[in-house]
């Protein structure tokens, strides 16, 4: 029997934005350590287990940066944690296979942020985004064998959607998947490890037609089964409030040597933080003080009105449900400013992260207000450019098939956000 520890999307070095100011213990920013602690807990459980896994598979996004428009390297503390834990795994004599995800690698470089660890530790086997680009070009499979385990690992690091933005390139990718599927060894267990999702065209559905004993997947932050032998392990820590109710942890997959069955069990990585994700109803006739009182009532009901203690401080999102109309007595900016001071600047509430999702408004929104709209949890520097980049990268094939101009769509998107009518012909 082969015992596999399957983990993904650890996002070491992630720094949530709407948190308290300051640096914890002169080392980390608030909530940054939650991601380190989850990974270290996994490593401790694996290396000290009475039933150690035969191999660890990490399915991408080990580090959080660089990513997208953020070209900054992982924080030095994240690199330190990586070195310490990789040594711990090395000393436990457990091999590791890691692939690049869409976070934590430099797209313009041939090496990965993980490359140095593969040089330092002989038990680490790394497949980078550059490896798959080269494999596609040369029509060669990507794999590594572990004869002592009678195991072959076939690797699929991330393929950015923008790298497959023509039918010719997508066809090349499809042929490469066929090469992988036909590169199995009959006298070994064959396991496929990949980072991507079918929904954004970074994972080809044909991989599920391969005769693999197990398919270990990363990128989707929610743990779930795709087929009886294909699973996403989810992320190890809550990265955003869209995941607030998801289980976080890793999988243990056991492949029986005498059958094609695989037994998969989920192992939770507990977080000591309270997560509060609540809606507050607002009405046009409300005053700012009435809305604030309603929000404070929710915070108080969760016993957060105690002195701030970082180690136990909660992550909080409040969603204002309702609409603001002309003549409404409350000012959303005033409400948000007050609550930010209360929850993130004072010690009156035990809260480390506070997000206020604004309500729908019938008033025109100015472009510089866009970042505060519901469900947008980061600053948009240029809505038109970012929307164009997004739709071109993840929907390029569909745009070409339907003869749609991404430049025009981006302009319509911005005008819609502004509340203006577009005079463009579509």
The predicted structure's pLDDT at residue 419? 53
Q: Do 335 and 367 fall into the same domain?
A: yes
Give the CATH number, domain containing residue 215.
Answer: 3.60.21.10
Q: Do 176 and 92 fall into the same domain?
A: yes
Q: Do 34 and 153 fall into the same domain?
A: yes
Report residues of the chain scoring pLDDT below 50.
362-381, 420-426
Residue 361 within a domain: yes
Residue 243 within a domain: yes
Residue partners of 257: CB distance under 8 A and separation at least 6: 1, 2, 150, 189
The predicted structure's pLDDT at residue 382? 57
- Report the predicted TM-score, pTM, of the whole model to 2 decimal places: 0.83
Nearest Cα to Cα of residue 284 among 234, 235, 332, 241: 332
Residue partners of 373: CB distance under 8 A and separation at least 6: 358, 365
The predicted structure's pLDDT at residue 246? 96
Q: Do 231 and 280 fall into the same domain?
A: no
Residue 83 within a domain: yes
Residue 102 within a domain: yes
Q: Do 103 and 221 fall into the same domain?
A: yes
Residue 74 within a domain: yes
Q: Do 81 and 209 fall into the same domain?
A: yes
Helix 32-47 to helix 76-91 angle (10° resolution) is 0
Q: Do 137 and 60 fall into the same domain?
A: yes
Domain boundary (248, 268, 288) is at 268
Half-sphere exposure of 190 (CA within 13 A, CB side): 16
Q: Do 154 and 303 fall into the same domain?
A: no
Domain boundary (268, 302, 337) is at 268
Domain boundary (246, 268, 290) is at 268
How far apart are alpha carbons 170 and 397 in whole angstroms?
9
Residue 12 within a domain: yes
Q: Do 49 and 160 fall into the same domain?
A: yes
How far apart are alpha carbons 216 and 43 in whole angstroms?
18
Q: Do 30 and 165 fall into the same domain?
A: yes
List the domain range (segments joined by +) for residue 37: 2-268
How far apart are alpha carbons 228 and 348 in whole angstroms?
49
Q: Do 155 and 301 fall into the same domain?
A: no
The predicted structure's pLDDT at residue 380? 43
Residue 377 within a domain: no
C-alpha distances (whole Å) from 88 to each of 74, 78, 270, 276, 362 are 20, 15, 21, 35, 57
Residue 424 within a domain: no
pLDDT tens figures, 51-88: 999 999 999 999 999 998 889 999 999 999 999 999 99
The number of folded domains in the chain is 3
Q: Do 262 and 293 fall into the same domain?
A: no
């Amino acid at each position: 029997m082969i015992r596999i520890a399957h983990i993904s999307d650890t996002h070491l070095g992630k720094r949530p934005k709407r948190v308290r100011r300051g640096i914890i213990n002169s080392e980390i920013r608030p909530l940054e350590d939650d991601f380190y602690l989850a990974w270290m807990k996994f490593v401790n459980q694996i290396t000290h287990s009475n039933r150690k896994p035969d191999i660890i598979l990490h399915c991408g996004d080990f580090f959080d940066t660089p990513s997208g428009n953020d070209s900054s390297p992982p924080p030095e503390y994240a690199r330190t944690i990586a070195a310490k834990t990789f040594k711990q795994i090395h000393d436990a004599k457990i091999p590791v296979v890691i692939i690049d995800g869409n976070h934590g690698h430099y797209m313009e470089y041939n090496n990965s942020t993980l490359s140095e660890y593969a040089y330092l530790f002989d038990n680490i086997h790394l497949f980078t985004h550059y490896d798959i680009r080269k494999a596609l070009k040369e029509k060669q499979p990507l794999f590594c064998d572990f004869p002592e385990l009678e195991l072959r690992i076939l690797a699929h690091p991330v393929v950015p959607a923008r790298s497959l933005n023509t039918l010719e390139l997508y066809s090349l990718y499809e042929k490469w998947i066929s090469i992988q599927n036909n590169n199995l060894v009959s006298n070994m267990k064959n396991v496929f490890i990949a980072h991507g999702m079918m929904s954004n065209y970074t994972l080809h559905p044909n991989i599920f037609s391969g005769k693999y004993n197990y398919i270990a997947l990363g990128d989707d932050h929610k743990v779930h089964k795709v087929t009886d032998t294909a699973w996403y392990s989810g992320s190890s820590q809550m990265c955003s409030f869209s995941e607030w109710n998801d289980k976080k942890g890793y999988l243990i997959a056991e492949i029986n040597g005498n059958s094609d069955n695989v037994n998969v069990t989920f192992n939770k990585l507990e977080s000591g933080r309270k997560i509060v994700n609540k809606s507050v109803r607002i009405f046009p006739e409300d005053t700012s003080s009435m809305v604030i009182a309603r929000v404070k009532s929710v915070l108080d009901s969760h016993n957060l009105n105690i002195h701030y203690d970082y180690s136990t401080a909660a992550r909080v999102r409040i969603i204002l449900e309702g609409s603001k109309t002309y003549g409404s007595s409350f000012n959303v900016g005033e409400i948000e400013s007050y609550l930010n001071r209360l929850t993130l600047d004072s010690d009156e509430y035990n809260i480390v992260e506070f997000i206020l999702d604004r309500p729908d408004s019938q008033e025109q929104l100015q472009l510089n207000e866009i970042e505060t709209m519901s469900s947008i949890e980061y600053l948009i520097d240029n809505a038109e450019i970012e929307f164009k980049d997004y739709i071109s990268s993840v929907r390029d094939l569909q745009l070409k098939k339907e003869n749609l101009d991404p430049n025009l769509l981006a302009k319509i998107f911005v005008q819609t956000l502004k509340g203006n009518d577009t005079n463009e012909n579509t």
